Structure 1
Amino acid sequence: MTKPADVSVRAGDKVSSESHTLSELLEIQKAAFLRDGIPDAKTRIDRINRLGQMLLDNADEITAALDADFGTRPRELSIAADVAGCMIDLTHQRRHAAEWMKETNVSKVQGLLGFKQRLRHDPLGVVGIMGPWNFPLQLTIVPAGSAFAAGNRVLMRPSSITAKTTDVLARVAPDYFSIEEFAVVTSKHGGGADFAKLPVDHMFFTGSPEVGASVAAEAAKNLVPVTLELGGKNPAIVDVDADISAAATFLADARMVNGGQVCLCPDYVFVPESKVGEFTDKVIARWADNFPTILKNTQYTSTINDKNYERIVGLIDDAVDLGATKHQVIPAGEQLPDATARKIPPTLLTGVKAGMKIEEDEVFGPVLTVYPYRDQKEAIDKINSAGHPLTLYWVGDDNERLAYVADHTRSGSISGNDFALHLLSAGLPFGGVGRSGMGNYHGEFGFETFSHARAVTVSTMPIKFSELMSAPFTKSDTRLTDVQMKMWNVIQGRASRKSRK
């Protein structure tokens, strides 16, 4: 039976997470979970409300911190993605938590015969959430809201790369939460590898496949289940009869969201061979219109740090050295790329071939590779050879060619004619497959990720299954066994004949 949480350290007492070690925080939350039991709907909704209020109350300071962490990052983007963007799913969780947590009667008819079957939706306990730097709130706060809806406590570790943003969260969180409910873990508690070793009840990680593999390995040592939201080189296919101007506009814009530093950005695009030149010209024209200046343009998001800046510039240079052609938008009077501002001009590459590093590495920056195709199967074969992406973009009508692509590829999602719209739907999951991740969240999918489906059966039947399954076995048991075998042979035979027809 659920009940309100008995929080001994009340929100507002300003107990900082940094006053405790990582292990102490986990023990505090585990003890509180066991002490209070499963929280009722009112408690869960209150926690989700406080999480949203924390974002809204501190939006200005959060966006300023994000701008400082990146170098330049538009306030409009930070609000849309890392503040207001979180509210969509938090609102959905708040509205439906009471409904989702209800015990389900699985079979009413069998219950009347004495075989009662119920399904509980129980919280796991303490959820650990590890976030990335590209959207340090969106990709931590949203899963935290799902974990609260499911009745859990949360230990949240945002990326140390966006340290200023993490510091703001760690400082304001005690105004809204007891550390028994929600604690922000900072670099003072250790690195991400230390967090991954925690014996929490579920570990949720968003980041690169390489780090995700390490997190999963550490979690496995404690038999901790994991949800991994990873990256991947997301392909796009422009259909043979698609409007090239519309395709170029959409993909040019989608590539430059957050300076290209989004796990859902298109990484490479297949264009009908006869239209590659037109597509390339229109992408460059769109970028030139969008970014008349870059170096001192506060709306042009900087590359997050020197390491990633050098990596992306290196990918471009390697491709050009090996024969690729680069098309860049560099405003008059500006020298780009610029290491001090960490700004790389929007770059389109053609003539990319096997052996170039950019063929294998996820760019995570303002670079789009274009491949020509004559037959759709060429694009499909190349996509399937590169590992399963987080999303696959389609530009064109909802037609039989899209259906063919969907049937012959695997990806976390398919996005047609716009950027990542499934993020806005409460009825769709967000997650990858294969190298791009395991598990999903958003809406009820998030609630289920952080819940345990717990079976409950109560029997008042006159026949006991335990008696039927244990010795001594009588002649009646033998006859019953023989009848079962005859029945199943008849049923299976009918099914097999139907299948053959």
Structure 2
Amino acid sequence: MSVQTSSAQVAAANLDSADTSSFNEMNSILSSMKRAHLKSGPADAELRQDRLLRSIRLLKENHVALAQAMSEDFGHRSTYQSMLADIVTSVRALQYAAEHVAEWMTAETIDADQGMQARIQPQPLGVVGVISPWNFPLNLSFGPLAGIFSAGNTVMLKPSELTPKTSELIAELVGRYFDPMEFVVVLGDSKIAAQFSSLPFDHLLFTGSTAVGKKVMRAASENLVPVTLELGGKSPVVIAPDADLSTAMTRTLAIKAFNAGQICLSPDYVLLPQGKEESLIDAAQQAIRHSFPTMQANPDYTSIVNERHYQRLIDLLDDAQRKGARVISLAPAGEVAFDQSSRKIAPHLVLDVTDEMAIMQEEIFGPLLPVKTYHELGDAIDYINQHPRPLAAYYFGESQTQQAQFASQTTSGGLVINDVMTHVTIEELPFGGVGASGIGAYHGIHGFRRFTHAKPIVIQSKEGASSQRIRAPYADKMAQLEAFLSQ
């Protein structure tokens, strides 16, 4: 384990993952941060803005090094994708919070009867723990800071061990831009992450798989730590009978190819009207041909993050094919469908899928797109409702009646009509899951509220009229109750 402990360096302490001293060290740091938070009192708007603006400076002033670190961790990662999804998106979220934090902090006055004064005072929670994943190592580390810092909290971050160069650079940079009582980075493997999740934070945010999310929630519950879980699941794309297939596949595959589909919001399967399979294949081939005339040597196309995840995706394809699926590679003409040395896998369509196939049971997290057909739109809705609630659902079709039907009859973390993943770019919207895809939401004011305690404050009137009704004797008050109940 490694912990950033000064304003200029990362500590050299490397402890065995199984050693309880790593937990004790993290717990000691957390205790120090809690004491510092209480001693300094609630951060004012100026300090909150300063922390947000320092986060922005960190990203802007080091964007080249950060993009290079991410590419090295992936084997190859599109620089444009890193700049857009990890750096620019995070900067915009932080800027939005910096512009609005003073407004969000304002207490809300409540109308109260009998001379009382009442208000809701937003209060910082304290120290928030963040466990971020590897697929967007900056976005999912710094994006949540918009809510955490605007709410007046400090933070401990455990970035992913699967992107070690990026995580080490984050720790180094945080040490330069922040005091250790404001922002601490903990480095280490999955065992360190498990210990981290059992610390007595004032709130814990985890982004990752549903399976690990259950473990995180179980560990946090031992200290009654409230959690925000941003999980995944199998986000469906429903193509209605009246949808334009070319538009649907262009927009779906744009996200399936972005970061090579290694996105929690990536489309995980398509529900298609029966009889349109060949038209869908043609539309998909045209969409990929237009965007990626080459792939293996194309700097715009990203590798799978490591060998284990690469082999897992190849195994999903093999399992589906063995069980009767029709697998269609969308690799450019003359190129291989996948290459172990580059860890680049071209987008694939997988047709004739059944629920017995692993590709329809697991979150894919890669450029593979199963296609399942349906008779009536109601059948597609029923299929979605028979499975765990997804992080997002995507619907392509022009009928407003059917759009409304789909929106009202399915439950998902978010819904996008005639596009894919667009909702995550709108800072004013809450981002989060529901059911198996997550607990809680953030972004914009929703992040501020998520990491804030809405504290009710009441000032009793001098006369104390409202409290008279609970004071004995009660005989002369009974008539008033009976009159109220008889209305």
Q: Tell me the TM-score normalized by structure 1.
A: 0.91
Which residue of the partner structure matches residue 279 of structure 2?
Answer: 278
1:67 maps to which of 52, 65, 71: 71
Query: Which residue identity is paired with 1:272?
Result: P
Which residue of the partner structure matches residue 97 of structure 2?
Answer: 93
Which residue of the partner structure matches residue 490 of structure 1?
Answer: none
Q: Is the 8 A contact 1:12 1:176 kept in 2?
A: no
Q: CA deviation at 1:388?
A: 0.6
- Mark the runs of 5 or more structure 1 residues left unpaired by the alignment: 1-10, 488-501
Which residue of the partner structure matches residue 442 of structure 1?
Answer: 443
Aligned 1:15-414 pairs, distance under 5 A: 16=10, 21-107=25-111, 110=113, 113-187=114-188, 191-397=192-398, 399-414=400-415
Q: Is the 8 A contact 1:17 1:184 kept in 2?
A: no
Q: Is the 8 A contact 1:18 1:185 kept in 2?
A: no
Name the % identity.
38
Give per-residue Cα distances to partners, 1:156-198, cap 9 Å, x unaligned: 1111111110111111112110010011111189621011011
Q: CA deviation at 1:34?
A: 0.8
Which residue of the partner structure matches residue 17 of structure 2?
Answer: none
Q: Secondary structure at the match of 1:282?
A: helix
Query: Which residue identity is paired with 2:8?
Result: K
The range that moved more, 58-67 or 18-27, is 18-27
Q: Is the 8 A contact 1:266 1:368 kept in 2?
A: yes
User: Distance in 1 between the 2:91 and 2:483 partners?
Assistant: 58
Q: CA deviation at 1:299?
A: 2.0
User: Distance in 1 between the 2:336 and 2:98 partners?
Assistant: 49
User: Distance in 1 between the 2:145 and 2:12 partners?
Assistant: 19
Q: Is the 8 A contact 2:390 2:413 kept in 1?
A: yes
User: Distance in 1 between the 2:420 and 2:119 partners?
Assistant: 41
User: Distance in 1 between the 2:412 and 2:467 partners?
Assistant: 45
User: Distance in 2 between the 1:339 and 1:50 partners?
Assistant: 40
The range that moved more, 13-22 or 365-374, is 13-22
Q: Is the 8 A contact 2:242 2:399 kept in 1?
A: no
Q: CA deviation at 1:275?
A: 2.1
Q: CA deviation at 1:13?
A: 4.2
Which residue of the partner structure matches residue 454 of structure 1?
Answer: 455
Query: Which residue identity is paired with 1:27?
Result: S
Which residue of the partner structure matches residue 18 of structure 2?
Answer: none
Q: CA deviation at 1:411?
A: 0.2
Aligned CA distance change for structure 1 residues 189 and 416 (closer, same or farther; 3 Å): closer
Give per-residue Cα distances to partners, 1:207-265, cap 9 Å, x unaligned: 00000111011000000000000001110111221212112211221211110100111
User: Distance in 1 between the 2:420 and 2:437 partners?
Assistant: 18
- Mark the runs of 5 or more structure 2 residues left unpaired by the alignment: 14-21
The range that moved more, 14-23 or 123-132, is 14-23
User: Distance in 2 between the 1:481 and 1:92 partners?
Assistant: 50
Give per-residue Cα distances to partners, 1:373-403, cap 9 Å, x unaligned: 2210111011111211111111123611010
Q: Secondary structure at the match of 1:323?
A: coil
Backbone CA RMSD of aligned residues: 1.9
The structure that has the greater radius of gyration is 1
Aligned residue pairs, count: 473
Which residue of the partner structure matches residue 477 of structure 2?
Answer: 477
Q: Tell me the TM-score normalized by structure 2.
A: 0.93
Give per-residue Cα distances to partners, 1:296-326, cap 9 Å, x unaligned: 3332211111111111111111111011100
Q: CA deviation at 1:331?
A: 4.0
Q: CA deviation at 1:424?
A: 2.0
Query: Which residue identity is paired with 2:101?
Result: A
